[in-house]
Amino acid sequence: MYKIVTIFILSSNLSFSQEIVFDNYFFNKSMRVDYSHVGNSQKEEIFLNEIKDEPFWGGSQINLIDTFFYGNFMVKIIDKKTNKLIYSRGSDNLFKEWQTTTEAKTTNKSFYEVATFPYPKNEIIFKIDRRDKKGTYFNLFSVEIDPQSKFVKKEKSANYKTFEILKNGDSKNKVDIAFIFDGYTKLETQKLYADAKRFANYLFTYSPFKENKTKFNIWGVEVISNESGTDIPGQNIWKQTAINSNFWTFDSERYLTTSDIKNLRDAASLVPYDQIYVIVNSEMYGGGGIYNFWSVCSADNEYAKYVFLHEFGHAFGGLADEYVDNGLSDEFYPKGVEPWEPNITNLVNFDKKWKNMIDKTIPQPTPETKEYANSIGLYEGAGYMAKGFYRPYQKCEMKSLGVGYCPVCEKSILQIIEFYTK
């Protein structure tokens, strides 16, 4: 059975050891918890939808406890009998972004979300913790789950053909990426396969991915839609597609996303995965990436390669945008709190960022001049803010498409690759 409870657990009573023996606590498959994230700009609640038994676990069987603390949310799995933390993973979601919009100030909305983790052998407490405006985690939702319950669904969620794009070994020590396709009809199946190969090749044109290609598996799920393309509300274009992707998310023309997380995760469940990348059959410029949630990119725009890599920087690397956008809310980053992303800072706690990577001869803040064009420094203008936020390099893929990741972003990505593959 599973039972929603209010639980207050002191952190001092939990074991945060990284030495979790996978086989003592988990089967080599996934448990999936589906829930609705409901609220507005000032409040939020989580409501349980269903729990599923899925056939694959794509993640590490060694590094089960999150050590990065990226994202505004943290899923925690606690062994009920011993009160021991046996799994955790940080993430972000569309709901958090929506909360900063004008609409969220006057409207309540519900967003479908999913958490997956290795399938527990014994009863657990499933928790979702959330950062408050001071950057401190608090418990937003808890539920006790009996993995043997007859109410845990075991049916196959989707019936799509799957295929290998790149296979380098066992999923337990590889980064597994699932390519999911939206807006491809039966007549465009050949294009779907060609696009899969093309985008897989894109990934390994940049460091540190190209040096670590053997640490990746890439899987394709042949998702076929009734119509070709995607929704473009600003042009009154609406398409019947399997994953229901759309431009104009939060009234931003180029923000290509999907909120149909149920159908997306049903498709992804057919392969092992650590990351999900949705490739949308469209020529329009755009994409989106949210940490440990999904990446989305249009297939046929001339800048598709660079958007693909930029968005993967968000979703896989936890990297922030480094450009300035005065149209975004200044509530996106709480004042007086160091951003959790590794590549931007507001100097509240710069010591934990890239400060030790800056040469002593480099002035801080660092002028944006040719003299420092190839120097790690402290350049003002990042995280959408022109003032008070800083980035480590003058040019980086998280600011300017087509230039590659800067040394700080490369280091951060490499650390995550190693986390999944060791």
Peptide bond into 272 cis (omega under 30): no
pLDDT category of residue 327 using cuts at 50, 70 and 90: low
Hey, is 312 helix, strand or coil? helix
Domain membership of residue 199 (yes or no) is yes
Classify residue 76: in a domain, yes or no: yes
Strand partners, 4: 143
What percentage of residues in the chain have a pLDDT greater than 90? 92
- Average pLDDT of the segment spanning 388-404: 97
Q: Is residue 390 part of a domain?
A: no
Given strand 73-79, what is the order of strands in its sheet? 2-4, 137-145, 124-131, 73-79, 84-91
Taking residues 407-419, report their average pLDDT.
98
* pLDDT computed for residue 156 by the predictor: 87
20-59 per-position pLDDT tens digit: 999 999 999 999 999 999 999 999 999 999 999 999 999 9
- Identify the CATH number of the domain in which residue 245 sits: 3.40.390.10
210 to 215, 233, 417: CA distances (angstroms): 10, 37, 12
What does R_g of the chain's alpha carbons equal in angstroms? Answer: 21
pLDDT score of 11: 38
Listed as own residue / partner, the contacts of 199-202 with beta carbons closer than 8 Å and 24 or more positions apart are 199/277, 199/279, 199/297, 199/299, 199/304, 199/308, 200/165, 200/166, 202/304, 202/305, 202/308, 202/309
**Residues 166 and 307 occupy one common structural domain:** yes
pLDDT in tens, 186-226: 999 999 999 999 999 999 999 999 999 999 999 999 999 99
Q: Rounded distance, CA 11 to CA 66, Å?
A: 15
Distance separating alpha carbons of residues 223 and 242, to the nearest angstrom = 7
What is the rounded distance in angstroms from the CA atom of residue 296 to the CA atom of residue 194?
Answer: 17
Q: Is the pLDDT of residue 16 over 50?
A: no
Task: Let me know whether 122 and 186 are in one domain.
Answer: no
Which region among 1-5, 25-29, 37-41, 265-269 has the lowest average model confidence (pLDDT)? 1-5
Q: How confident is the model at residue 330 (pLDDT cuts 50, 70, 90)?
A: low
The answer to whether position 205 is within a domain reads yes
Cα 30 to chain center, whole Å?
18
- Arithmetic mean of pLDDT over the chain: 94
Asked whether residue 4 carries a pLDDT value surpassing 80, the answer given is no
Residue finishing a domain among 86, 118, 145: 145
Instruction: Note down the domain range covering 271.
Output: 161-315
One domain for residues 165 and 310: yes
Helix, strand, coil shares of the chain, percent, nearest 5, are 20, 30, 45
Answer yes or no: is 417 within a domain.
no
**What gap in Å lies between CA 330 and CA 102, rounded to an integer?**
12
- Give me the pLDDT at residue 325, please: 87
Residues 122 and 244 in one domain: no
Average pLDDT over residues 230-254: 98
pLDDT of residue 18: 57
Q: Which two tokens stand for residue 208?
A: 């540190």
Residue 326: what pLDDT? Answer: 73
CB 90 within 8 A of CB 73: yes
Pairwise CA distance, residues 72 & 100, whole Å: 13
Roughly what angle, to the nearest 10 degrees, separates helices 189-203 and 304-315?
70
Task: Give the Cα separation of 57 and 151 in Å (integer).
Answer: 21
Residues 302 and 178 occupy one common structural domain: yes
Bridge partner list, 53 = 31
Same domain, 207 and 67: no
At which of 260, 283, 315 does a domain end?
A: 315
Determine, yes or no, domain membership for 336: no
Report if residue 301 sits inside a domain: yes
Do 99 and 28 lie in a common domain? yes
Tell whether 168 and 303 lie within a shared domain: yes
Among 132, 129, 135, 56, CA closest to 90: 129
96 & 68 share domain: yes
Residue 232 has pLDDT above 60, yes or no: yes
DSSP state of 67: S
Give the CA distances from residue 71 to residues 131, 155, 331, in Å, rounded to whole numbers and listed in that order. Answer: 9, 31, 16
Q: Which residues contact 302 (CB under 8 A, 6 or more apart)?
A: none
75 lies in the same domain as 170: no
Q: Are residues 183 and 307 in the same domain?
A: yes
Range 49-72 average pLDDT = 97
Residue 130 has pLDDT above 60, yes or no: yes
Burial class (CB in 10 A: 0-12, 13-18, 19+), 327: exposed
CB of 235 within 8 A of CB of 283?
no
The arithmetic mean of pLDDT across residues 244-269, rounded, is 98
Backbone angles phi, psi at 257, to 5 degrees: -145, 180
Split at pLDDT 50, 70, 90, the class of 241 is: very high
What's the whole-model pTM score? 0.94
Number of structural domains in the chain: 2
Cβ atoms 420, 411 nearer than 8 A:
no
136 plus 36 within the same structural domain: yes
- Tell me the pLDDT band of 422, cut-offs 50, 70 and 90: confident
Domain boundary among 315, 349, 378: 315
In this model, does residue 2 exceed pLDDT 60? no
Task: Give 159's Cβ-side CA count (13 Å radius).
Answer: 1
* Domain-located, residue 415: no
DSSP secondary structure string for all residues of 240-284: --SS-EES-GGG-TTB-EE--HHHHHHHHTTS--SEEEEEE---S
Can you give the CATH number for the domain in which 122 is found? 2.60.40.3250
